[in-house]
Structure 1
Amino acid sequence: MEYTHLGRSGLSVSRLVLGTMNFGPETSEEDSHAIMDRAHEHGINFFDTANVYGARPGGGVTEEIIGRWFAAGSSRREKTVLATKSYLPMGDWPNERFLSALNIRRACEASLKRLRTDHIDLYQMHHIDRNTPWEEIWEAFNVLRQQGKVLYFGSSNFAGWHIAQAQEAARSRHFLGLISEQSIYNLMTRWVELEVLPAARAYGLGVIPWSPLHGGVLGGALRKSREGGASRGSSGRSAEMLVKHRETIEAYEQLCADLGEDPAHVGLA
């Protein structure tokens, strides 16, 4: 496994990140634990989740699955760089969402409890909050860091301008600021190359692509369908994408066949 520093930080992470969004809704707890065991066997030390992930309203299920895996011991937690997120609604009340100091505090405490850990390595804003001032956000984050509950902070689904705002606000307070941005980025969705990637490069942020295989569409979905195998591209938005871009996907899979490479490997590369 190859490792790198996450952005300009000294934190060492595997170049492959284990995403856990389907733990619970699509993947049983037993299989989820087996997947995490397998990830460690291959040297993957970077796991990404979010408080909202899970089948029940308000989420939390995925973090609980990971927490029970940590509780099984064998230094699982110590070997893992743990990333989670907050912002999206976890309930029906006004302060159970977004990035107020109140919700940041409550959401972090709830995630720590579900994850059965005393700290989060990378705490990410799931989306930009246009109604909460950066002074409030960074003050709340700094309290969490001083308490030892969070070590690093990151963003997700930010525009380049949002990254600039966040970093300049952090710089004015002499804070480290963000060390990463998590964006949708794959061969079919490349808009982050316009401003997000240049902003991340300028401010020293690592970039964590989510949906690198576009929900399985770039993982050989058509071939798997022909062969009768399981594919994430057979339902939901992925199925719609296959219908809309079928010719493009067919050409992509043919290119991979000509190269003698698995489409998933080409997509990740």
Structure 2
Amino acid sequence: MQYAYLGRTGLQVSRLGLGTMNFGMVTDEATSFEIMDEALTHGVIYFDTADVYGGAQKPDIKKGYGVSEEFIGRWFAQGGRREHIVLATKVYQPMDLGPNDRHLSAYHIRRACEDSLRRLQTDHIDLYQMHHIDRRTPWEEIWQAMELLVQQGKILYVGSSNFAGWDIATGQGAATARHFMGLASEQSLYNLTARTIELEVIPACRYYGLGLVPWSPLGGGLLGGALQKAKEGRRSQEGGKIEKLRPQLESYEALCKELGEQPADVAMAWLLRNPVVTAPISGPRTKAQLTESLRALEISLSDETVRRLDEIWPGPGGEAPKAYAW
């Protein structure tokens, strides 16, 4: 396994992160345990979850239920595991139906952290991520709540997710004024089919020293050989998008075949090539999918291959403002 520092911090994580959004939603507890065992065997020590994950198996989908966190907690309870894992979870989404059971008020952050610790059966969270920006709550309130959790030893680092570039800038400005480290990472939607963050989020991460953690690295399965799977009769939830992007997908899968690599591995290798990217989050549904994803770490894409990928999946034209102005 390869490891990298999480942004400017001294914390090292595996170059691939284990995403657990499927735990409790499409993957049962026994299979989830197998996946986590396999991850640890291969040195995948960066586990990413969220308080809201796994709720879809419940009848009331208006709130979260912490099922993914509970699975991880029971896996930790077997012993000999927690001390080897860099554990990341998130706060923001509705966890109950009350007006203060969501978002980033100090009230909700404190309560959500305590609930996550209980479900995860641990005394601390290594990376506590804000799942979305909450512009209604002032940064002074957010940072005060996070600082207290750090002082209490309940969290070690703070991260963001789905932030705009200017949210990262304003958040870091407020943290600096308080002599607080602020954000260590940003988890964003980023893959060959979704490159908007190249405009401002990636430059902000680079400037402020945040580790970029891409979620949905395979574009919801589009970059995982969607056309080939369709030929084999395997259904995809991205059927409409497949037809819309069919010409690009045909070119992409042909290029991957020429390289002798699986499309999913090429997509992950493309992300790993970016020096701002710390670790893409992979969300395997089976142990085999996890093992297969490790191949991406061994692939080195040439400049010519990257140029051809840019032709197939063009980005926004570079960083702002040069991407759209003189």
For 2:242 and 2:27, how far apart are their aligned partners in 1? 23
> Could you say which residue in structure 2 is the equivalent of 1:61?
67
Q: Report the alpha carbon displacement of residue 268 of structure 1 after superposing the two structures with TM.
A: 0.1
Q: Please say if 1:84 is aligned against 2:64.
A: no
Look up the SS of the partner of 1:218 in the other structure.
Answer: coil
> Could you say which residue in structure 2 is the equivalent of 1:47?
47
For 1:8 and 1:94, how far apart are their aligned partners in 2? 36
For 1:2 and 1:241, how far apart are their aligned partners in 2? 33
**CA offsets per residue over residues 220-261 of structure 1, 9 Å max, x none?**
1221222245x6xx01xx233212212211211111011111
Q: Please say if 1:70 is aligned against 2:76.
A: yes
Q: Please say if 1:225 is aligned against 2:230.
A: yes
Q: Please say if 1:153 is aligned against 2:158.
A: yes
For 1:240 and 1:48, how far apart are their aligned partners in 2? 29
1:96-135 → structure 2 map (5 Å cutoff): 96-135=101-140
Q: TM-score, normalised by structure 2?
A: 0.79
For 2:119 and 2:216, how far apart are their aligned partners in 1? 25
Look up the SS of the partner of 1:171 in the other structure.
Answer: helix
Runs of 4 or more consecutive aligned structure 1 residues displaced over 6 Å after TM superposition: none
* Match for residue 171 of structure 1 among 173, 176, 185: 176
> Could you say which residue in structure 1 is the equivalent of 2:24?
24
Q: TM-score, normalised by structure 1?
A: 0.96
For 1:177 and 1:120, how far apart are their aligned partners in 2? 16
Q: Report the alpha carbon displacement of residue 166 of structure 1 after superposing the two structures with TM.
A: 0.6
For 1:243 and 1:59, how far apart are their aligned partners in 2? 35
For 2:154 and 2:241, how far apart are their aligned partners in 1? 40
1:176-195 → structure 2 map (5 Å cutoff): 176-195=181-200
Report the count of equivalent residues: 263
Larger RCO, structures 1/2 (Cα 8 Å, 6+ apart): 2
For 2:43 and 2:192, how far apart are their aligned partners in 1? 26
> Could you say which residue in structure 2 is the equivalent of 1:94?
99
For 1:151 and 1:116, how far apart are their aligned partners in 2? 16
For 1:207 and 1:257, how far apart are their aligned partners in 2? 29
> Could you say which residue in structure 2 is the equivalent of 1:214?
219
Look up the SS of the partner of 1:99 in the other structure.
Answer: coil
5+ unaligned residues in a row in structure 2: which ranges? Answer: 270-326
For 2:174 and 2:99, how far apart are their aligned partners in 1? 26
Query: What's the C-alpha RMSD, in Å, of the aligned pairs?
Result: 1.0
Look up the SS of the partner of 1:153 in the other structure.
Answer: strand
> Could you say which residue in structure 2 is the equivalent of 1:260?
260
**CA offsets per residue over residues 192-225 of structure 1, 9 Å max, x none?**
1100000000000000000000111101122122
> Could you say which residue in structure 2 is the equivalent of 1:9?
9
For 1:91 and 1:15, how far apart are their aligned partners in 2? 34
For 2:168 and 2:41, how far apart are their aligned partners in 1? 35
